A and B are shown apart, each in its own frame.
Chain A
Amino acid sequence: MTMTDTDATTTIEDLTDWYDAGPADEIDVDAAVVLPLRPPVAVYHLDDGFYASDDTCTHSEYSLGEGWIEDGTVECELHAAKFDIRTGEALTLPATDAVVTYPVAVVDGNVYVDLRGRTGCIVDQLRG
């Protein structure tokens, strides 16, 4: 869940097509919010910044944003599949597929997600 460094040159104009995920200070560290998209996207706050991934676990229908976040990983609470939040990699079975990740930027205290920047795409057509 790649993080775009927010440098001084990034302006709000550069992010016109990015999705507004709301104020950064409304997401606690080691917590996440779920964006009501189809399919939904989870935005995580780790100690080194913000990351985003598809919200639905690649193993079974359940929200990763509702999962247990610790040490840069998120664990689905239905069957305990664990993912690396920064890369999307599946770390434990029963998940075998990585979860799709998105670039994230923070500008003026607000979090933006680049929905076109999905990596590891498997369900692209769903969001036409």
Chain B
Amino acid sequence: MSRQVFTIVGASLAGLRAAEALRSRGFDGRVVLVGEERHAPYERPPLSKGVLHGTVGLAELTLRDAWDDVEIEFVPGDRVVEVVAAERDVVLASGRRVRSDQVLLATGGRPRDVDLPGLDLPGVFTLRDIDEALELAPLLAQGGRLVVIGGGFIGLEVAASARMLGCEVTVVEAATVPLARGLGPEWGGYVAEQHLERGVRIGMGVGVRALRGSGHLQEVELEDGTVLQADLAVVGVGMTPRTELAEGLGLRTDGGIVVDARARTSNSHVFAAGDVTVQPSWSGDRMVRYESFQNAQDQAAVAAAAMLDQEPPRREPPWFWSDQFDLNIQTAGELGGADEVIVRGDHRAGTSFAAFHLQGDRVAGVFAVNRPKEVRAGMKLMEVDLPVTVDELIDESVDLRRLAKKVVAHRRP
């Protein structure tokens, strides 16, 4: 019998992690990993931080550049143009075809298109891959005027980095509060406040009408008629999942490739992982697209297990981090639908606190600034699903990690 072939489309975090997990789980067939970029897989979170600061480059961010020891056939700089359903032929732009027993789609997303005049002017950037970040970094280092269009996590991270580099920064956000979709209005407002205190200007509740300039970006005109002088603009208004191959295969898509909790699509030989998927949420009551490092890494391992018909690894509560200025912002679980929010530390006067979002007497979500320990403890409390008291959460002398671990130890047979 010839060796099985598992082909992974997309060589960023999810694709790489799935390939490695197939090997560590004992798969002895061929693993083909196709990436559109010419680079080996690399870590993306620093693109809006360390890379812009000039402190890290591609070499530091490369996640793997040795392939022989894991026997992964890495194909960089080629793009999958079609997956033929009947034979599961993966067709590359170069003309190569890889007949595959199983296919994993880890195609991620592209910056969401916006329809604005002047987007093609020099000086206007999006930020999704390292080439863009490396091009933007030296320009920001010159300390000019930057307009960030979109107050999401990437936009605010770019704003913070640019401000730290001495740029004059304005963030324009169409919603009335930035980050409201992910964090809710209170914590989104908190983060906005921190930016204002550090000299970032934020225009909220206003859209952009046009980008203008002759030969290079010079100004950004807002819908209310305001004109911002600008040397650079970064458009960060979210991402569009790359579902074209999935659609070509006739898979179910709905704001992403629809998968179940084991990363299986509506085709039994095709799996999907990472930013491109919508999956059952942690609480199980809806379908969500988790655009996070954690999800890319963990769902890839889940997909590898499913491809091999093995038991999936244990699921952890969703977790996300963002580093902005001196703030390590973390969120875990689900912040929406809380009955009560209990804050440990002081969020009105400072940058060190953890807010526990309770549903009944259970921790359902945590939002924290410079309190990673409390977040990890909160995640464990969510996982074991046992009651906590308000006193325990508020009292700084109660070690929540110890509390969570005692619960775990207690429940172990």
Contacts and interface: CB of A to CB of B under 8 A. Distances in A.
B13 A68 contact: no
Interface residues of B, number: 21
Given A66-B373, A75-B376, A93 B319 contact: no
B17 A93 contact: yes
A20 interface: no
Contact of B376 (A30, A68, A93, A96): A68
Contacts of B45: 79, 94
A78 B43 contact: no
Given A93-B17, A93-B63, A94-B45, A77 B297 contact: no
Contacts of A68: 376, 380, 401
Contact of A30 (B293, B297, B319, B405): B405
Interface in A52-93: 66, 68, 70, 75, 77-80, 92-93
A66 B43 CA distance: 24
The size class of the interface chain A forms with chain B is 10 to 19
Main secondary structure of the interface of A (DSSP, over half): loop
A79 B328 CA distance: 10
A93 B13 contact: yes
Interface in B346-384: 372-373, 375-376, 380
B321 interface: yes
Contacts of A75: 376
B64 interface: yes
A65 B361 CA distance: 31
A80 B379 CA distance: 12
A27 B205 CA distance: 53
Contact of B63 (A77, A79, A96): A96
Given A75-B376, A78-B328, A93 B43 contact: yes
B294 interface: yes
Given A93-B297, A94-B45, A77 B376 contact: yes
Contacts of B293: 79, 93-94
Given A93-B17, A93-B43, A78 B321 contact: yes
A77 B43 CA distance: 18
Main secondary structure of the interface of B (DSSP, over half): helix
Contacts of B297: 92-93
Contact of B375 (A66, A77, A92, A93): A77
B17 to A, nearest CB: 7
Contacts of A94: 43, 45, 63, 293
Contacts of A92: 297
Interface in B7-51: 13, 17, 43, 45
Contact of A80 (B62, B64, B319, B373): B319
A77 B372 contact: yes
Contacts of A80: 294, 319, 321
A68 B405 CA distance: 10
Nearest to A75: B376
A94 B47 CA distance: 13
A78 B372 contact: yes
Nearest to B379: A68
A70 B294 CA distance: 18
Nearest to A66: B373
Contacts of A30: 405
Nearest to A94: B43
Interface in B45-90: 45, 62-64
Contacts of A93: 13, 17, 43, 63, 293, 297
Contacts of B375: 77
Interface in A85-118: 92-94, 96
Contact of B64 (A66, A70, A96): A96
B10 to A, nearest CB: 15
A79 B372 CA distance: 9
Nearest to A68: B376
Contacts of A70: 405, 408
Contacts of B372: 77-78
A45 to B, nearest CB: 13
Interface string B378-399: 0010000000000000000000
B62, B297, B401 — most chain A CB neighbours (10 Å):
B401
B218 to A, nearest CB: 38
A79 B293 CA distance: 9
A92 to B, nearest CB: 6
13 contacts: A68-B380, A68-B401, A75-B376, A77-B373, A78-B321, A79-B45, A80-B319, A92-B297, A93-B13, A93-B43, A94-B45, A96-B62, A96-B63
Given A79-B293, A92-B297, A96-B62, 13 more contacts: A68-B376, A70-B405, A70-B408, A77-B372, A77-B373, A77-B376, A78-B328, A79-B45, A79-B321, A93-B13, A94-B293, A96-B63, A96-B64
The 10 closest A-B pairs by CB, nearest first: A77-B372, A68-B376, A94-B43, A77-B376, A77-B373, A93-B297, A78-B372, A93-B63, A96-B63, A79-B321
